[in-house]
Structure 1
Amino acid sequence: MALKILFVSIFREGDGGGEGRVAFELARWCAQQAAVVMLCPGEKTGPASDESGFHFFHIQSAHQDKFSIPLLNAPTVRRLYRFLDAWKPDVIHIHDPALLGVVAQLWARLNRVPVFYTAHILPSRALEFGPSELAGWLSGPLNDALVEQYLNNFYDNCDAVVGLNPAAVSEIREFGFRGPVFQIPNGRDLQQFGQAAFADPLSPQKTLAFTGFLSRRKNQLYLVEMLAHLPRSYELWLMGEDLTPGYTEELTRLIRAHDLHVRFTGQLSQAEIAAALAQVHAFVSASKMEVQSLAVIEALASGTPVVGLANETIEELVDDTDGVCLPKDTPPEVFAAAVQRVCSLPAEEYHLLCRSARQRVQPLDRANIVRQTLQAYRTVLDERAEAEPALPARELIGRYLSQLPQGVLAPELAEFLSKRLEEALRQPVQHARAVWLTGVNMVGSVIGFYVLQGPLKTYRRLRRLPLRRP
């Protein structure tokens, strides 16, 4: 019988950068071999399907600038839980440790369904993945401690965690997670990126590129500074949209000050990225932190050598066989010299780098990732089937009571134990953290939902006034 898998993402499809993309792609790939439902934000709460037959359970959400906040009030959560009670997933796979993921996690805990979590963010540096760039007040010792406690509670309610590479696995273990950790990288459709010819190394004009949100963590400002140390025949393509307020303006001022050739392409589709990379002589990265960058994987898959400052992804995938991995503190002028060396190689040596780049990421093909993921599910399910349940489930109560010694006291004992077991099931001590996490996320989601909806809608909601529509 095919596995039933509930995937959970805090993003709508098409939002969330690489993290959002991976969640939906993995769900769609697994749907070819298993029964899959994607729990994610939507216009209204309830099950839905797209034209391909892929299944969703949407939660009504406010949406702004590719960011969604679901309305996790009590009626919504009850409706979701009724759906899960009826569908009975075998596994719940969460991609975000908040909101929808936490609500799904509580249902799983109460129903003894294993919870997987893919750690797209490093737990000890969670505030460096976006929020601190959008709201500087989030960083600081107090908030770091609160986030650490929150994530500790979340991890304690996971049955298994997926680490994307050795650095992530090590970080998860150092954070204190004691359950199974599976090293499964982000998968890509390598065929989409491996069809085009390599860039022409003999061309006098050289094209460099970086793909990703324009943000301080991605550090495109460094790349622009580096470009100032290269001949004017070099052009830099920045493929992505603005994330950090004011950052694009800062980049533009530096570009104008040095009269540099930089092209802002905006966000591109996967097909457009693949076509663009076929014209790129070197992919350049100065990102301060990347657990496992899809952009670097796609560049290598296209046969584009990568020159980058050391981070989790560059150290894992880039060396002198497919590009250059430089120390984090490398000055821009030294980075520029490394780029010029790669782009000035004789055609034969350059093409060797290109072929090695493609070969480097072959294990990351989506077929391998789906196989590893499904095998991880089965491993945990098999181990759970062999283990005694930690807490009696509701359907086991009758079996326990039927084994009581028969006699005068049997009815009294049965009544007493029934009440005790029912109380334990309603308020299991080991689920207290999951209940607390869910409550916090439900309250936060309702507040955030109405904030994103805007002050007028919020005011009318609070006053219980009907919203007039044009």
Structure 2
Amino acid sequence: MAPVSVAAFTDTYLPTVNGVSYTIQTWRDRWRDRGGTMRVVYPGCDEYEPELEEYPVRSLPFPMYEGFRLGTPRIPAAAENVEIVHAHTPFAVGLGGVRLARRKDLPLVTSYHTPTAEYADYLTSLPRVEHSIERLAKRYERWFLSHSDAVICPSEDARDRVRDTVDSDTPAVVLSNGVDVDFFAPTDPEPFRERYDLPDGPLVGYTGRHGYEKNLPEFLRAAAGLDATVVIGGDGPAREDLESLAADLDVDARFLGFLPREELPAFYSLLDVFVFSSPVETQGLVALEANACGTPVVGVDAGALSDTVEDGVTGYHYAHGDIAGCRAAVERVLDERDSLSRSCLDRREDLSVEHAVDQLAGLYGRVIDENGTE
């Protein structure tokens, strides 16, 4: 029997590079491989040509959040003939998913990828206004999630946040986004090292959005006492400040800029330690990608990273704000790098997106059965 047909609504998608975009694309591809249909509705733009089962809606750039576009809550006709609706984001396009579920009396599943209140940082720098926006965002998030028949949370920490937000009648289910372990696997990093002119010796690094919420200055301050080169991929609004801080601290830091996805396995494989200092993650997918490539992670003991990193197995934690503790954790991983790398690789199948999609299929089936949808 083919998997159920799904309409997935998202306010962020390719060509914007983030974990949500790639998770949706990967799930869609795996769903198709299994003979199913997952139609993706997203904000369209001239820079991206839609593929099969992708349906853009009209959108405008959002000037306060680089790479984000404001879509419209339209429902393409091709997305209407489905058995279940999955809203990945709570903004305009996500509202289109809620409208479709209501109009067609279809089950609705939502994903909790990012707390809505975090976007307040991008709208204002005035504390009083920011707090007001955060309160409104939390109320709106409660309203949005409460329309769901199930909320998918990528970690136990995210599930706890959802349970604090919505009433107890809305099931919150832990389901990892999963990692494409066929793609994210150990690879020869030397061509990458040569291409970016990186030195021999210990390399510690990070890749992802350079947002202020990612807490990257903590990583750089910890690196100031390390005998290692810092390698940072990605880009974002905090990059200029980070480069200035690294210079002030006299840290040997190489900022590589945006890395194409096809280069990420080599980037991870090149690092001796991946450092993730962000306390606001709902899963921390890049940490799992690093692990799948055999690279252990030093992660802040906050948010989802408290669960994503397993001490002594896939890396080590340090307390949020403890710069000396971060430095000590990196040094410990450097000392145990070989054994930690082996244990990371032993756990690759547990991280796989195939495992995640198996769980997703089971969840869709349960929600449909509970709603009596034929």
Give TM class, smaller chain: 0.7 to 0.9
TM-score by length of 1: 0.70
Q: Corresponding residue for 1:450?
A: none
CA deviation digits over 1:146-201, x for unaligned, max 9? 222212221221111111111112221222342232211011111222232699xx
Q: 1:223 aligns with which of 216, 219, 234?
A: 219
Unaligned stretches of 5+ in structure 1?
388-470
Query: Is residue 121–residue 130 contact of structure 2 (8 Å, CA) maintained in 1?
Result: no
Q: Corresponding residue for 1:342?
A: 333
- Greater helix percent: which structure? 1
Unaligned stretches of 5+ in structure 2?
191-198
Query: Is residue 11–residue 42 contact of structure 2 (8 Å, CA) maintained in 1?
Result: yes
Distance change >3 Å, CA 254–CA 179, structure 1 → 2: closer
Q: Corresponding residue for 1:155?
A: 145
Q: Corresponding residue for 2:121?
A: 132
Which amino acid in 1 is paired with 2:19? G
Query: Is residue 212–residue 218 contact of structure 1 (8 Å, CA) maintained in 2?
Result: no
Report the Cα distance in structure 2 between the residues aligned to 1:38 and 1:4, rounded to whole angstroms: 11
Report the Cα distance in structure 2 between the residues aligned to 1:11 and 1:327, rounded to whole angstroms: 32
Distance change >3 Å, CA 339–CA 313, structure 1 → 2: same
CA deviation digits over 1:389-440, x for unaligned, max 9? xxxxxxxxxxxxxxxxxxxxxxxxxxxxxxxxxxxxxxxxxxxxxxxxxxxx
Q: Corresponding residue for 1:194?
A: 185
Distance change >3 Å, CA 134–CA 360, structure 1 → 2: farther
5 Å matches for 1:344-383?
345=335, 349-383=336-370
5 Å matches for 1:262-411?
262-318=253-309, 319-330=311-322, 332-343=323-334, 345=335, 349-385=336-372
TM-score by length of 2: 0.87
Task: Report the identity percentage.
Answer: 23
Q: Which has the larger radius of gyration?
A: 1
Report the Cα distance in structure 1 between the residues aligned to 2:264 and 2:165, rounded to whole angstroms: 36
Which amino acid in 1 is paired with 2:357? V
Q: Corresponding residue for 2:56?
A: 58
Report the Cα distance in structure 2 between the residues aligned to 1:281 and 1:134, rounded to whole angstroms: 37
Tell me the CA shift for residue 18 of structure 1: 1.4
Distance change >3 Å, CA 26–CA 341, structure 1 → 2: same
Q: Corresponding residue for 1:248?
A: 239
Q: Equivalent residue of 1:196, what SS? A: coil
Q: Corresponding residue for 1:90?
A: 83
Query: Is residue 13–residue 20 contact of structure 2 (8 Å, CA) maintained in 1?
Result: no
Q: Corresponding residue for 2:43?
A: 41
Q: Corresponding residue for 2:10?
A: 9
Query: Is residue 16–residue 67 contact of structure 1 (8 Å, CA) maintained in 2?
Result: no
Which amino acid in 2 is paired with 1:60? R
Report the Cα distance in structure 1 between the residues aligned to 2:305 and 2:155, rounded to whole angstroms: 11
Distance change >3 Å, CA 382–CA 220, structure 1 → 2: same
Report the Cα distance in structure 2 between the residues aligned to 1:224 and 1:376, rounded to whole angstroms: 41
Q: Corresponding residue for 1:213?
A: 209
Q: 2:102 aligns with which of 105, 109, 114?
A: 109
Q: Corresponding residue for 2:250?
A: 259
Q: Equivalent residue of 1:190, what SS? A: coil
Which amino acid in 2 is paired with 1:94? A
Report the Cα distance in structure 1 between the residues aligned to 2:53 and 2:307, rounded to whole angstroms: 35
Report the Cα distance in structure 1 between the residues aligned to 2:302 and 2:113, rounded to whole angstroms: 15
Query: Is residue 317–residue 360 contact of structure 1 (8 Å, CA) maintained in 2?
Result: no
Query: Is residue 133–residue 215 contact of structure 1 (8 Å, CA) maintained in 2?
Result: no
Query: Is residue 120–residue 130 contact of structure 2 (8 Å, CA) maintained in 1?
Result: no
Distance change >3 Å, CA 280–CA 141, structure 1 → 2: closer
Report the Cα distance in structure 2 between the residues aligned to 1:62 and 1:133, rounded to whole angstroms: 17
Report the Cα distance in structure 2 between the residues aligned to 1:259 and 1:302, rounded to whole angstroms: 30
Distance change >3 Å, CA 258–CA 174, structure 1 → 2: closer
